[in-house]
A and B are shown apart, each in its own frame.
Chain A
Amino acid sequence: MIRVEHLRKNFSGKQVLSDVSFFVEPGSILALVGPNGAGKTTTIRCITGVLKPDAGSVTLFGERFEHVTSHTAKQRIAVVPEERVVFRNFSGADYAQLWASLYPKWDDSIFSNFVARYGFDLSQKVESYSIGMKTLFLLGLCISSQADLLILDEPTQHLDPTIRLEVMSLLKEYVDGERSALVSSHEIFELEEYATHMAIIKEGRIIYTDSIDDAKEKHRIVEKGESIQDGEVVGLVGQNVLVKASSDVGRYPKLSEIVVAYLTGKSERKLALK
């Protein structure tokens, strides 16, 4: 569906992306996780054509992105950007009309149900919606577009807890055998509920990518005092250590523990072990 290889980008001499590579399979939700400033949003901006990467390649639906016209690729992608900036004078109805004219697979009935379910006033300017309502409205547009690939930057940010759960299940339903999603998020506890794959990004580099099930299978959490026979120490998770091992030691980790251990890295591990 989408393959990103060795993406690099710098702004005024500052390297923001140094080596970003991952693959989103059809029918999967890939979570791009990492700390603030790690390069998640820049990666999304490069994939969607907002920014031109300095090096590397983006292959969408089997075609190199730079060779693909809007008809063949961009109509198959729907995006919720990080900054919920919207057109100032557009009402909800104007937005729906715009998206309907640009996305050939736009489904009006899905949009109408979404609007009714969450009580949007389509005559009101989207700019005047609360930040949470804007997020939800943009998600509604994406889902109604019936695009093959959803690219969502912090899709559950600013949402009420109950709506978050509904959005997560909506996303799981949306991604069937054909469609997929790339989600950038800080919400590592939530991601476990709906993501199928993950890519951990740190300082502009993907340091680990795998399916979540396989990642859990390949790692163990070893508690303080337990001995480690074999395996590679990845990082600390509180008082425990995450190791990459296939032997039956410790316990299987949660997604959040894998993410924390990879992001903690070597230097802090050394400090803690002193």
Chain B
Amino acid sequence: MKEFEAYMKKQLLEKFPSMVFFFVVMMIPNYGAKVFGTFFLILFSVASDVRQKRLDLLLYLPLTRKQIFWFEYAFLSLMLGITFFVGLPFAEKNVGVWLTLLKSLVFLWAYLSIVLSAVSVGFDPFGAAFLFLLFDIVMGSIGSAKLSASFNPYKFISPLRQESVLASAAFAAVLTYASYRLFTTRSGER
């Protein structure tokens, strides 16, 4: 717990000035706003640490790769949760609002996994995030979710579109597992 508190403090002290705008955006009780804020929150979090060679600083401290991986998930999920609850009084009171939280978390886990996987194999995390976003937008928009000649199953698992929240959550879980394996077994030197 002490390690997580230290990690939280480090991330807040280091990142708050660049993240504050996106925190405010994420308070808007709307999936689009949350996705927008979350995407940039990921970029300004561990991705920017890697870009500025500051991930090593954490690894020189008594923190393992395993801890850094889960702390990052926990930290960003917590930020998403906090902004959701701050914005909750302004949201419509129905089940959809909770679905927005779930969908935003699925989006966060999937995209964070992509960024952490990219970091682990030595790719540029910013480039990887934008490329995957482009892929996700294109793949998620072509074809149909209905059984027909243009049926596109990707629509179901797309972290952005999420035709099926369950399928997208399962896809995010697979991505999380893969990125965990990569992040803890490869050092991704650049």
Contact = CB atoms under 8 A, between A and B. Distances in A.
A87 interface: yes
Contacts of A85: 52-54, 56-57
Nearest to B68: A70
A64 interface: no
A101 B64 contact: no
B181 interface: no
Interface string A37-65: 00000000100111110000000000000
A11 B59 CA distance: 19
B61 A102 contact: yes
B144 interface: no
Contact of B6 (A50, A69, A102): A102
Interface in B64-83: 64-65, 67
Interface residues of A, number: 29
Interface stretch (B8-16, B106-114, B170-178): B8-16
A51 B189 contact: yes
Contact of A101 (B2, B13, B54, B187): B2
A16 to B, nearest CB: 10
B62 A74 contact: yes
Interface residues of B, number: 26
Contacts of B2: 101-102
A81 B64 contact: no
Contacts of B5: 101
Given A87-B54, A89-B14, A102 B63 contact: yes
Contacts of B10: 87, 90, 98
A102 B3 contact: yes
A52 B187 contact: yes
B63 A74 contact: yes
A94 interface: yes
Nearest to A94: B13
B17 interface: yes
B14 A88 contact: yes
Nearest to A87: B14
Nearest to B185: A52
Contacts of A99: 61
Contacts of B64: 49, 69-70, 74
Most interface-central of A90, A97, A103 (chain B CB within 10 A): A90
Contacts of B189: 11, 51
B57 A98 contact: no
A98 to B, nearest CB: 6
A183 interface: no
Interface string B1-30: 011011001100110010000000000000
Contacts of B17: 89
Contact of B62 (A45, A75, A94): A75
Nearest to B63: A70
B14 A52 contact: no
A70 B61 CA distance: 9
B62 A102 contact: yes
B185 A70 contact: no
A50 B68 CA distance: 12
A271 to B, nearest CB: 36
A122 interface: no
Interface string B38-63: 00000000000000111011011111
Contact of B60 (A52, A81, A88, A101): A81
Most interface-central of A70, A79, A83, A94 (chain B CB within 10 A): A70
Interface string A14-53: 0000000000000000000000000000000100111110
A70 B53 contact: no
A272 B29 CA distance: 78
Interface of B: 2-3, 5-6, 9-10, 13-14, 17, 52-54, 56-57, 59-65, 67, 185-187, 189
16 contacts: A45-B56, A49-B59, A49-B65, A50-B60, A69-B64, A70-B63, A75-B62, A77-B62, A90-B10, A90-B13, A90-B14, A98-B6, A98-B9, A101-B6, A102-B6, A102-B62
Given A11-B189, A75-B62, A98-B61, 7 more contacts: A70-B63, A85-B54, A87-B10, A87-B57, A89-B13, A101-B6, A102-B6
**Ranked 7 nearest A-B pairs via Cβ:** A74-B62, A79-B60, A75-B62, A52-B187, A70-B64, A50-B59, A51-B187
